[in-house]
């Protein structure tokens, strides 16, 4: 060995110091033990491999030991560690898996021995390594099970043969080293994942801490020192009652809109992550349901099941997982799918669907929170709390001590969102859709008037005084209403009016009963239909109607067939683009065009009649032909059920809504065809007065006491009476105390309304005389303006000492 080649053999520097080589009889055993000892340190792969090469050269007494590792695709070999070759070549020298003697080892998967490597036909020379000085070559495959991970090479300057014992020993070592590589790679990938998770969490938290649009609005609107000045904020009443206290602002822990687009190259791990988050969300929902168990009726508890069902919904999960397979990280996939649902529901329009959208967002944010491993915030503490938020989740509402919760004010949300339904069940005054809720600051004094849909912020002394008085009276009045809960709505001179409830969701049934409704005067079946992902089949509908009937315990239920319209299209129906949707494809027109689906509903309603007294009601009839067509389909449905031997009510009373002016003009003729009329003033007023019922701009023109409206009602009532048929009203006018006198006077048999108003209207009717009401109606239907009508009604009620009641509930 020349002096120059001696210096070419590099001295090892750095790395851990191996045990000093000892002149022992069993060098093999020591070698194996030394390498085994490195197993525990295998978390730094490069350093460990370097150490191994050093030990091997020392123990075997060879000049060079190098380790080449295959890349993740198994295509290229790279020099990872060496003792004996030039250190600067480490990480740089790389060759194809078929190149050189090293490649031969990979191909044969066997040790390759070359006493004079330089003359071997497969030799490939890398000048960077300085290996021209080394003649003998022994390469061994390093494999884990069937997978080759790399090649262990020893080289020596002298031409030498490698004895079998040495080859065997190095083979064992190669297997040991493979084990070290596997272990280090596992740890490495865990570390990378953990690092990715940490990065991701940090990015998410940063994104979440960025203010939402609502918070930005809040910041803009509250850039003023001190408390908000006195403000009156209007919204929609979602739960009645009066509450006052201090504002507590609620912010979601995470928001979907804060998520930025992230990608993944490990979809399996992301899917696993998603599934864990879904599972935790379900556990949380179940725990929440249990927590509020004794405070809620069975029907309202079902809200939690709806959320759970969505978390278990195969289509929902598959959609997210498909996005993940397409390369999106779990949070981005969740955001995309959830927002897709929300957008469809919001675009479909209508209050009910918008409210379902809020539920879906709530569910998405719950899963997102679990994806991020964040806990829910603990509920606010303190007395007389008024929760103020953009939107509240179910948990937000359930986490507060209800004895201290006096009211809720929401910027978004609708009256039929699940949170609003719960607020109603908990009897917490709630106002939703308060556009400027963002001005309210933490600690502001707030009065929530859930009857009027108004929130007062830092009210003046006079408002506080007024509301304290009102609150006292309201409580006393409610006690009084409870006393008449089981009494009929009967005038002083013995005329009875049936008071029914308008319902949509199953949860309304309990509310109806609590307020003493004698029947369901209007079951809007389109409302539950909006919550399904497709048209419910006959059995599903039957089960639904049966639940309502069972809950009503033998009281009559008026089931209205689908009344789909521009404000209530289910997400599974194609939305037509129309210039005048309220004059277009809606209600009974849709049902008649989709006769097969319509007949499924008719059959389900007829069959439900076996489980309790049912009346069937057809919406938006505008001609006799239409009514006859509907009745014809009803007859067909009955014949089919008869043939199939299915039980149904063959004598089910048939009614129609009078809500189109044409029906008023044809009332005499139409009355011959039905058992009852139900006047739908919500639509009748908009069609009679040409005023869109949902357009705020023309809201002041929407006048129930318009003489034209009163005369249309009187005409309809008379036609029904002449034909000996019953006539009721289910539009909102039926719950307006100022209108009660006239409605009584025209001879309506029934009034159906939002359950909350049943006791109020009952109280009013019980203090009126039917004869007086009749003569007053005679008089006001002659008046020419709404103003005169109202003036006359106000003064009559004042004389009767009922004016406060009207003011309180109007």
User: What amino acid positions are annotated as catalytic residues?
Assistant: 418, 730
The partner in contact with residue 681, picked from Mg ion, ligand PEP, none with C-beta cut-offs of 5 to 8 angstroms by kind, is ligand PEP
- Stretch near ligand PEP under the rule CB under 6 A, chosen from 121-129, 357-365, 424-432, 680-688: 680-688
Nearest approach in angstroms of CB 679 to ligand PEP is 7
Residue 681 makes contact with ligand PEP by CB under 6 A: yes
**Helix, coil or strand: residue 752:** strand
Residue 761 makes contact with ligand PEP by CB under 6 A: no
The nearer residue to Mg ion, 361 or 693, going by C-beta atoms, is: 693
**Under 8 Å between Cβ of 621 and 578:** no
- Stretch near ligand PEP under the rule CB under 6 A, chosen from 13-21, 22-30, 81-89, 675-683: 675-683
| DSSP symbols for 639-661 | HHHHHHT----TT--EEEEE-SH
- Which residues contact residue 587 at a Cβ distance below 8 angstroms, ignoring those fewer than 6 apart? 562, 563, 564, 565, 619, 620
The nearer residue to Mg ion, 449 or 683, going by C-beta atoms, is: 683
Q: Which of residues 506-565 bind ligand PEP (CB under 6 A)?
A: 522, 524, 563
For 112, the enclosing helix (H) or strand (E) is: strand 112-114
The partner in contact with residue 731, picked from Mg ion, ligand PEP, none with C-beta cut-offs of 5 to 8 angstroms by kind, is ligand PEP
For 361, the enclosing helix (H) or strand (E) is: helix 351-371
The nearer residue to ligand PEP, 680 or 747, going by C-beta atoms, is: 680
* Binding residue for ligand PEP, selected from 270, 659, 703, 736, defined by CB under 6 A: 659
Identify the residue whose tokens are 């609502």. Answer: 214
Q: Return d(Cα 31, Cα 49) in angstroms, integer.
A: 14
The nearer residue to ligand PEP, 129 or 681, going by C-beta atoms, is: 681
The nearer residue to ligand PEP, 659 or 749, going by C-beta atoms, is: 659
- Stretch near ligand PEP under the rule CB under 6 A, chosen from 474-482, 546-554, 598-606, 681-689: 681-689
Nearest approach in angstroms of CB 593 to Mg ion is 18
Nearest approach in angstroms of CB 319 to ligand PEP is 32
The nearer residue to Mg ion, 659 or 750, going by C-beta atoms, is: 659
**Under 8 Å between Cβ of 674 and 654:** yes
Dihedral in degrees, nearest 10, Cα atoms 27, 29, 31, 34: -130
- Which residues contact residue 614 at a Cβ distance below 8 angstroms, ignoring those fewer than 6 apart? 545, 549, 556, 557, 558, 559, 605, 608, 649, 652
Total residues contacting ligand PEP by CB under 6 A comes to 10
Query: How buried is 19 (Cβ within 10 angstroms: 0-12 exposed, 13-18 middle, 19+ buried)?
Result: exposed
Nearest approach in angstroms of CB 712 to ligand PEP is 12
Q: Return d(Cα 100, Cα 175) in angstroms, integer.
A: 22
Q: Which residues bind Mg ion (CB under 5 A)?
A: 659, 680, 683
* Binding residue for ligand PEP, selected from 683, 749, 750, 754, defined by CB under 6 A: 683
Residue 63 makes contact with ligand PEP by CB under 6 A: no
Of 630, 635, 629, residue with least CA distance to 617: 630
- Stretch near ligand PEP under the rule CB under 6 A, chosen from 75-83, 182-190, 299-307, 678-686: 678-686
Q: Return d(Cα 289, Cα 310) in angstroms, integer.
A: 15
The partner in contact with residue 54, picked from Mg ion, ligand PEP, none with C-beta cut-offs of 5 to 8 angstroms by kind, is none
Nearest approach in angstroms of CB 666 to ligand PEP is 17
The nearer residue to ligand PEP, 258 or 501, going by C-beta atoms, is: 501
Nearest approach in angstroms of CB 563 to ligand PEP is 5
Nearest approach in angstroms of CB 622 to ligand PEP is 13
Q: How many CB atoms lie within 10 A of CB 508?
A: 25
Q: Which residue has its beta carbon closest to ligand PEP?
A: 680
The nearer residue to ligand PEP, 412 or 502, going by C-beta atoms, is: 502
Q: Return d(Cα 244, Cα 390) in angstroms, integer.
A: 19
Nearest approach in angstroms of CB 713 to ligand PEP is 12
Residue 680 makes contact with ligand PEP by CB under 6 A: yes
Q: How far is CA 686 from CA 190, 583, 698, 703, in A?
A: 65, 11, 10, 9
The partner in contact with residue 63, picked from Mg ion, ligand PEP, none with C-beta cut-offs of 5 to 8 angstroms by kind, is none
- Per-residue binder mask for ligand PEP (CB under 6 A), 704-733, x = binder: --------------------------xx--
The partner in contact with residue 508, picked from Mg ion, ligand PEP, none with C-beta cut-offs of 5 to 8 angstroms by kind, is none
Dihedral in degrees, nearest 10, Cα atoms 545, 550, 556, 560: -10
Residue 755 makes contact with ligand PEP by CB under 6 A: no
Q: Return d(Cα 764, Cα 492) in angstroms, integer.
A: 10
| Residue 589 tokens, joined | 């027109």
Alpha helices in 9-95, H assignment, sequence order = 27-38, 45-56
The partner in contact with residue 730, picked from ligand PEP, Mg ion, none with C-beta cut-offs of 5 to 8 angstroms by kind, is ligand PEP
* Binding residue for ligand PEP, selected from 12, 276, 682, 774, defined by CB under 6 A: 682
The nearer residue to ligand PEP, 396 or 563, going by C-beta atoms, is: 563
The nearer residue to ligand PEP, 380 or 680, going by C-beta atoms, is: 680
First to last CA, the chain: 110
Q: Return d(Cα 518, Cα 495) in angstroms, integer.
A: 16
- Order across the sheet with 94-96: list the strands: 94-96, 76-83, 64-70, 147-156, 136-144, 112-114
Nearest approach in angstroms of CB 566 to Mg ion is 12
Q: Return d(Cα 678, Cα 697) in angstroms, integer.
A: 28
Q: How many CB atoms lie within 10 A of CB 694?
A: 15
Q: Return d(Cα 649, Cα 390) in angstroms, integer.
A: 48
Nearest approach in angstroms of CB 680 to ligand PEP is 3
Can you give the binding site for ligand PEP, defined by CB under 6 A? 522, 524, 563, 659, 680-683, 730-731
């Amino acid at each position: 060995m020349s002096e120059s080649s001696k210096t070419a053999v590099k001295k090892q520097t750095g790395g851990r110091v191996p045990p000093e080589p000892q002149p022992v009889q069993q060098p093999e055993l020591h070698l194996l033990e030394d390498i085994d000892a490195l197993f525990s340190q295998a978390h730094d792969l490069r350093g460990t491999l370097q150490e191994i090469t050093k030990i091997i050269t020392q123990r075997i007494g060879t000049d060079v030991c190098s380790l080449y590792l295959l890349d993740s695709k198994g295509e290229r070999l790279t020099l990872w560690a060496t003792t004996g070759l030039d250190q600067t070549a480490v990480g740089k020298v790389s060759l194809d898996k078929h190149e050189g003697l090293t490649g031969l080892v990979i191909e044969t998967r066997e040790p390759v021995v070359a006493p004079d490597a330089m003359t071997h036909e497969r030799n490939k020379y890398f000048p960077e390594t300085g290996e021209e000085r080394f003649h003998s070559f022994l390469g061994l495959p390093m494999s884990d099970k069937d997978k080759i991970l790399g090649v262990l090479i020893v080289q020596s300057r002298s031409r030498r043969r490698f004895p079998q014992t040495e080859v065997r020993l190095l083979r064992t070592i190669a297997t040991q080293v493979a084990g070290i590589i596997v272990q280090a790679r596992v740890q490495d990938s865990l570390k990378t994942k953990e690092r990715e998770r940490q990065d991701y969490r940090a990015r998410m938290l940063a994104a979440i801490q960025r203010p939402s649009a609502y918070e930005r609005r809040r910041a803009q609107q509250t850039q003023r020192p001190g408390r908000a000045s006195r403000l009156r904020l209007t919204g929609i009443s979602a739960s009645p009652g009066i509450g006052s206290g201090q504002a507590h602002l609620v912010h979601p822990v995470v928001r979907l809109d804060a998520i930025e687009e992230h990608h993944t190259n490990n979809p399996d791990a992301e899917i696993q992550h998603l599934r864990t988050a879904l599972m935790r969300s379900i556990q949380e929902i179940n725990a929440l349901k249990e927590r509020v168990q004794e405070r809620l009726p069975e029907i309202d508890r079902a809200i939690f099941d709806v959320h759970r069902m969505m978390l278990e919904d195969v289509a929902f999960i598959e959609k997210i997982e498909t996005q993940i397979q397409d390369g999106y990280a779990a949070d981005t996939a969740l955001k995309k799918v959830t927002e897709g649902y929300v957008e469809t529901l919001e675009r479909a329009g209508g209050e009910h669907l918008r409210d379902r959208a809020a539920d879906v967002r709530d569910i998405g944010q719950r899963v997102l929170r679990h994806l991020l491993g964040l806990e829910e915030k603990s509920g606010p503490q303190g007395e007389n709390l008024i929760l103020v938020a953009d939107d509240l989740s179910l948990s937000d509402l359930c986490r507060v001590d209800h004895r201290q919760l006096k009211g809720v004010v929401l910027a978004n949300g609708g009256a039929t969102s699940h949170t609003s339904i719960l607020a109603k069940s908990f009897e917490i005054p709630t106002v939703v859709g308060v556009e400027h809720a963002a001005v309210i600051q933490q600690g502001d004094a707030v009065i929530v008037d859930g009857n009027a849909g108004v929130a007062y912020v830092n009210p003046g002394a006079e408002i506080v005084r007024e509301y304290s008085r009102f609150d006292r009276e309201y409580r006393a009045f409610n006690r009084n209403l409870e006393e008449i809960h089981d009494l009929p709505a009967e005038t002083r001179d013995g005329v009875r009016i049936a008071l029914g409830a308008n319902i949509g969701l199953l949860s309304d049934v309990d509310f109806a009963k609590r307020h003493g409704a004698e029947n369901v005067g209007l079951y809007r079946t389109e409302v539950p239909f909006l919550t399904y992902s497709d048209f419910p089949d006959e059995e599903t509908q039957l089960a639904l109607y049966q639940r309502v009937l069972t809950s009503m315990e033998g009281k009559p239920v008026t089931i209205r067939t689908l009344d789909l319209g521009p404000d209530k299209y289910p997400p599974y129906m194609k939305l037509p683009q129309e210039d005048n949707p309220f004059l277009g494809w809606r209600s009974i027109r849709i049902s008649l065009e989709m006769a097969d689906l319509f007949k499924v509903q008719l059959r389900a309603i007829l069959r439900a009649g076996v489980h309790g007294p049912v009346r069937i009601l057809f919406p938006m009839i505008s001609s006799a032909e239409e009514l006859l067509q509907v009745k014809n389909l009803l007859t067909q449905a009955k014949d089919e059920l008869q043939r199939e031997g299915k039980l149904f009510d063959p004598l089910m009373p048939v009614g129609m809504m009078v809500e189109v002016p044409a029906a008023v003009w044809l009332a005499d003729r139409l009355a011959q065809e039905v058992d009852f009329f139900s006047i739908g003033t919500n639509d009748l007023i908009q069609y009679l007065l040409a005023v869109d019922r949902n357009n705020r701009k023309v809201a002041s023109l929407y006048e129930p006491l318009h003489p034209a409206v009163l005369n249309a009602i009187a005409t309809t009532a008379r036609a029904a009476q002449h034909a000996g048929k019953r006539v009721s009203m289910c539009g909102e006018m039926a719950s307006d105390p100022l209108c009660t006198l006239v409605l009584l006077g025209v001879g309506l048999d029934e009034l159906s309304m939002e359950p909350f108003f049943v006791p109020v209207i009952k109280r009013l009717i019980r203090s009126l005389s039917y004869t007086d009401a009749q003569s007053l109606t005679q008089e006001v239907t002659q008046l020419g303006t709404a103003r005169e009508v109202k003036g006359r009604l106000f003064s009559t009620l004042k004389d009767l000492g009922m004016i406060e009641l009207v003011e309180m509930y109007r």
